[in-house]
Structure 1
Amino acid sequence: MGAIELKNVTFAYPNGFIANENLTLSINSGERVAIVGQNGAGKTTAVKLMNGLNKPTKGNVFINGMNTKDKTTAQISSYVGYVFQNPDDQIFNSNVKKEIEYMLRYLKLDEKEIERRVGRAVELTGIQDFLHMNPYDVPYSTRKFISIAAILAIETPYIILDEPTAGQDMSGIKALTTLMNVLQDEGKSVITITHDMEFVSDNFSRVVAMANKQIIADGTARKIFWNHDVVKQAKIKKPQIGELASDLGLSEDIILRKELVDLLINKY
């Protein structure tokens, strides 16, 4: 089984600012992990260590046993795909199909394989109607799925999604959930940075909380959201259902709608 492993990793920028300090974390193949914490906690810097955009100042990062210090970012991109928070920071081609094909042509894949991978990525993201359009002529929410499709086409075993629900309506969030289910069924790992705690509680069994450049907790969503010290230190909020349960004076560690409904039915 493969894994992304950060071992005692510290990252400092050239000006000396330390963004991550002594991170130790292992994410196995097929896991779905949410990374949460306030802005400035070090989340984005940490995932950029995973895909080689950042190289550790101290410690080591391993991808399936491969030390990233020995590899270029381009080499690591075949293992770890990173979807930027803002698709406009990622997209640069004149139409959607060219955007999805770009890395595949860079890798010199044959036309049949390019066609297969593009078709699969388009199917998973539901962007069939936009293939021949300029990406900047489609809605922002769809543009995010275009950037996801471009990474899916590379078929990396690890995929990082940075704030995927930002700008999405309920339909888009449902599509993201379906997509993550498919990827996990295929044995791929999905690592997500998000401030959307409802999305976390509904979709992630494992949550990593960060604060002050460090990992402060790693466990189930229930364990994280009902640890008041972690919630306070990471400056996150419980899911709204959890807040409602607290307001109603219920002691059970509720984070899901169905749990609250079932409890209320049984109680009253």
Structure 2
Amino acid sequence: MRISIEDVHFVYPGGVEALRGVSLSIEPGERVAIVGQNGAGKTTLVKHLNGLLRPTRGRVRIGDWDTAQVEVHRLAQRVGYVFQNPDGQLFCRTVAEEVAFGPRNLGYTPEEISQRVAEALALAELEDKAEANPYDLSPSWRKMVALASVIAMDTPIVIFDEPTTGQDVRTIRRIERMIEMLSQRGKTILTITHDIDFCAENFERVVVMGQGRVLLDGPKEMVLGMEAILAQTYVEPPQLTRLGMRLGFEKTVCTSEQFLETLRRRLDHPQSDPRAEG
């Protein structure tokens, strides 16, 4: 399901202009990370995708739906949104009830709801916590409950708002596995994140925003290698990208696999490296 954002402007009631002519096209199945400093317009932009905000000017389309013409509850069939703070998203007495709430409100049959809940609990590693009260769980597990509740809705588009904030390494690895599984199922996945290393390891396309505009948009190897422009938004390239630059790698590396492969080739064939000496 294609996402089309066409010259979108948005002004908050107080007069703050948060978006200034944003245009993006996101194809079905893409994994896109949106980065930039606080106040860049990232959250404002993605809230236009599920109808929580409507453009002051311009148009947003999800498939053949214009979000300004479709109710929020209908857009929830196409766009799942995992908020940064799970406590603002959870309200049921048990984890299982929480995960079932979305598909139940979308009108699925009891059999379909049961299947979706079971799959989402398994994907989030929550099977043994199905009868627990979400607020008896740790913040990391509450995050997983929020993720599972959106995954159970089986929307073609899933948005993660700062998924790694305040999370330990184990939870981040769980989130990464969930993203990979959703991607294998053909879902379009967007994230807003300040975690540039997480971005580089899990997303193929990066959009950099600043002052309500798109400053950079493209494959991560291109975008994350543009150190000077990133610095304008107070975003640093990933650690391995910066290390590769300092080592004189000709190509931008973003992931540990890319870094190790480039380093291996350089060690195996030092004469082919124009920067090598001796």
Which category of TM-score, normalised to the shorter sequence, fits these structures?
A: over 0.9
Describe the shift of the 1:260–1:185 C-alpha distance in structure 2 as closer, same or farther (beyond 3 A): closer
Q: Over residues 140-177 of structure 1, what are the superposed CA-to-partner deviations in whole Å (9 max), with x where a residue is unaligned?
A: 11111100111111111000001111232332222222
**Contact map agreement 1:224 1:230 (CA 8 A) in 2:** no
Query: After TM superposition, what 4+ stretches of structure 1 lie above 6 angstroms from structure 2?
Result: none
Residue type of the alignment partner of 1:106: N
Gap regions ≥5 residues in structure 1: none
Match of 2:172 in 1: 173
**Contact map agreement 1:159 1:191 (CA 8 A) in 2:** yes
**Contact map agreement 1:201 1:255 (CA 8 A) in 2:** yes
Structure 2 Cα separation of the partners of residues 93 and 170 of structure 1: 27
Once the two structures are TM-superposed, the CA of residue 251 in structure 1 deviates from its matched residue by 4.7
Match of 2:86 in 1: 87
Structure 1 Cα separation of the partners of residues 232 and 26 of structure 2: 23
2:131 is the alignment partner of 1:132? yes
**Contact map agreement 1:11 1:21 (CA 8 A) in 2:** yes
Residue type of the alignment partner of 1:96: V
Gap regions ≥5 residues in structure 2: 268-278
Q: Which has the larger radius of gyration?
A: 2
2:157 is the alignment partner of 1:158? yes
Percent identity between matched residues is 39
Question: What is the CA RMSD across the aligned residues, in angstroms?
Answer: 1.5
Residue type of the alignment partner of 2:60: V
Match of 1:17 in 2: 16
2:202 is the alignment partner of 1:203? yes
Match of 2:53 in 1: 54
Match of 1:214 in 2: 213
User: What does 1:140-151 correspond to in 2, within 5 Å?
Assistant: 140-151=139-150
Q: Over residues 61-88 of structure 1, what are the superposed CA-to-partner deviations in whole Å (9 max), with x where a residue is unaligned?
A: 1010211111111111111010000101
User: What does 1:249-264 correspond to in 2, within 5 Å?
Assistant: 249-264=248-263
Once the two structures are TM-superposed, the CA of residue 128 in structure 1 deviates from its matched residue by 0.9
Once the two structures are TM-superposed, the CA of residue 97 in structure 1 deviates from its matched residue by 1.1
Residue type of the alignment partner of 2:52: L
Other structure's SS at 1:49 match: coil
2:28 is the alignment partner of 1:33? no
**Contact map agreement 2:77 2:106 (CA 8 A) in 1:** no
Structure 2 Cα separation of the partners of residues 160 and 112 of structure 1: 26
Residue type of the alignment partner of 1:11: F
Other structure's SS at 1:148 match: helix
**TM-score when scaled to structure 2?**
0.91
Match of 2:272 in 1: none
Structure 2 Cα separation of the partners of residues 256 and 64 of structure 1: 32
Once the two structures are TM-superposed, the CA of residue 222 in structure 1 deviates from its matched residue by 1.2
